[in-house]
């Protein structure tokens, strides 16, 4: 089982882009209604103002394009028909479930431009088949990955998935999710917007989009007026404010004292768990629990989707596909095989 991820950003582009990427993953460009779009890493390097709406719906263009990019990438790694499993944050899961099933199920024709990663690339079309689609809550996928993935977690535990647009939290027992404890609240973009406002008091940030600034936030540095600015301390303060003002009060209301009786563990996943300053806030606030960051937090939910898909496929690895269209990162997880499907 392997995961492939790219930034969840798009931008329309009908210009020729040739031989600027190493492979399809870093050179995603395809066409929708005769208009070209660059996706992910290519949009980050060649785009002017690439972006994506927060928690977009399946009938939104950005969701459709990211889903198509994910299907193209999965086809390039394994061209067998797929039993796809994907999901949404619990707060928007019910309203999006049937729409996503309708969008993703069936046969998809994708016209893409290989020129960004091939010297003599000519426009190609592939046809990929999705035999079935299951949509589950994202937090459930994280629970599946914790139980059946490399972690092999046993007993009761709290799970907190800190995404860019949404934070999801839940108590998980041997019987499954405790739905009363599910909490959905604003994600890391809360802290990032605070940082943007703080830095903009002293510096002109230009026309950077929120997603472009997210890259600088991750790196802890940004180039302004041709000089490198260290923003690690600003980032630390903003993450601490995010935890104090948003996360801690919400979790205190969602999790009751009785929930802690038979639970000694708290698992953190999602992009937010990669920030040590934010993890330290959890460890301080929940010093009576064993707070642990899961392996591969960026791909953890997608791994859970893929494990569920493998179960749905009766163990057929070629048919298994997990897809996580996140607000910051899109991930596909599958069992690759040697293929010449994309030349």
**Any residues with CB less than 8 A from the CB of 40 and at least 6 apart, and which?**
6, 7, 8, 9, 25, 26, 28, 69, 330
* Per-residue confidence (pLDDT) for residue 53, from 0 to 100: 81
On the question of pLDDT at 342 being above 70, the answer is no
Instruction: Name the pLDDT band for 213 (thresholds 50, 70, 90).
Output: confident
Domain with residue 258: its CATH number is 3.30.420.40
Q: Contact, 321 vs 75, CB < 8 A?
A: no
Q: How many CB atoms lie within 10 A of CB 141?
A: 26
On the question of pLDDT at 52 being above 90, the answer is no
Residue 238 lies in a domain: no
158-184 mean pLDDT: 95
Residues 179 and 224 in one domain: no
Give the relative orientation of helices 276-285 and 232-242 as an angle to the nearest 10 degrees.
Answer: 40
290-317 mean pLDDT: 97
* Per-residue confidence (pLDDT) for residue 46, from 0 to 100: 95
Residues 204 and 255 in one domain: no
Residues 13 and 82 in one domain: yes
Per-chain mean pLDDT for the chain: 93
Residues 100 and 22 in one domain: yes
Residues 46 and 121 in one domain: yes
CA 131 – CA 112 distance, rounded (Å): 22
Residue 339 lies in a domain: no
On the question of pLDDT at 210 being above 80, the answer is no
175-190 mean pLDDT: 94
* Per-residue confidence (pLDDT) for residue 287, from 0 to 100: 95
Residue 63 lies in a domain: yes
Instruction: Name the pLDDT band for 205 (thresholds 50, 70, 90).
Output: confident
176-190 mean pLDDT: 94
Residues 131 and 148 in one domain: no
Residue 340 lies in a domain: no
Residue 306 lies in a domain: no
Helix residue ranges per DSSP H, 161-274? 189-200, 210-219, 232-242, 248-254
Residues 20 and 93 in one domain: yes
Query: What tokens does 227 get?
Result: 């000089």
Write down the pTM of the prediction: 0.93
Residue 307 lies in a domain: no
| Full domain range(s) for residue 202 | 189-230
Least confident of 71-75, 165-169, 209-213: 209-213
Residues 180 and 205 in one domain: no
* Per-residue confidence (pLDDT) for residue 207, from 0 to 100: 61
Instruction: Name the pLDDT band for 50 (thresholds 50, 70, 90).
Output: confident
Q: Contact, 87 vs 99, CB < 8 A?
A: no
As a whole-number percent, the residues of the chain with pLDDT over 90 amount to 82
Residues 29 and 118 in one domain: yes
pLDDT digits (tens, 9 = 90+) for 138-152: 999 999 999 999 999
On the question of pLDDT at 343 being above 60, the answer is no
Domain with residue 82: its CATH number is 3.30.420
Residue 239 lies in a domain: no
* Per-residue confidence (pLDDT) for residue 337, from 0 to 100: 84
Residue 289 lies in a domain: yes
For the chain, how many structural domains are there in total?
A: 3
Residues 14 and 72 in one domain: yes
Residues 103 and 123 in one domain: yes
Residues 144 and 193 in one domain: no
């Amino acid at each position: 089982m392997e995961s492939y991820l790219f930034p969840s950003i798009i931008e329309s582009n009908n210009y020729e882009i040739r031989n600027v990427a190493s492979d399809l993953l870093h050179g995603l460009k395809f066409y929708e209604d005769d208009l070209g779009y660059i996706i992910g890493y290519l949009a980050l390097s060649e785009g002017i103002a690439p972006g994506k709406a927060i928690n977009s719906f399946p009938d939104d263009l950005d969701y459709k394009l990211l889903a198509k990019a994910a299907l193209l990438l999965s086809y390039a790694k394994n061209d067998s028909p797929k039993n796809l499993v994907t999901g949404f944050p619990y707060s928007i899961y019910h309203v999006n479930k049937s729409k996503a099933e309708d969008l993703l199920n069936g046969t998809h024709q994708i016209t893409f431009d290989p020129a960004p990663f091939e010297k003599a690339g000519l426009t190609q079309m592939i046809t990929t088949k999705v035999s079935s689609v299951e949509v589950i809550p994202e937090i459930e996928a994280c629970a599946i990955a914790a139980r059946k993935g490399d972690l092999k977690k046993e007993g009761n535990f709290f799970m907190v998935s800190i995404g860019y647009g949404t934070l999801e939290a839940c108590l998980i027992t041997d019987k499954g999710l405790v739905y009363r404890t599910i909490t959905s609240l604003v994600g890391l973009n809360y802290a990032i917007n605070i940082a943007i406002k703080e830095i903009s008091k002293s510096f002109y940030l230009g026309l950077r989009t929120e997603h472009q600034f997210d890259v600088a936030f991750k790196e802890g540095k940004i180039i302004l007026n041709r000089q490198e600015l260290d923003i690690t301390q600003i980032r630390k303060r903003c993450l601490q404010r995010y935890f104090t003002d948003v996360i801690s009060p919400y979790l205190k209301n969602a999790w009751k004292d009785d929930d802690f009786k038979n639970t000694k563990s708290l698992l953190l996943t999602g992009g937010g768990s990669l920030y040590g300053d934010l993890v330290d806030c959890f460890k301080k606030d929940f010093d009576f629990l064993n707070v642990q960051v899961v392996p591969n937090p960026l791909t953890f939910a997608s791994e859970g989707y893929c494990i569920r898909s493998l179960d749905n496929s009766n163990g057929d690895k070629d048919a298994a596909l997990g897809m996580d269209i996140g607000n910051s990162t899109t991930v596909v997880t599958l069992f690759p095989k040697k293929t010449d499907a994309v030349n």
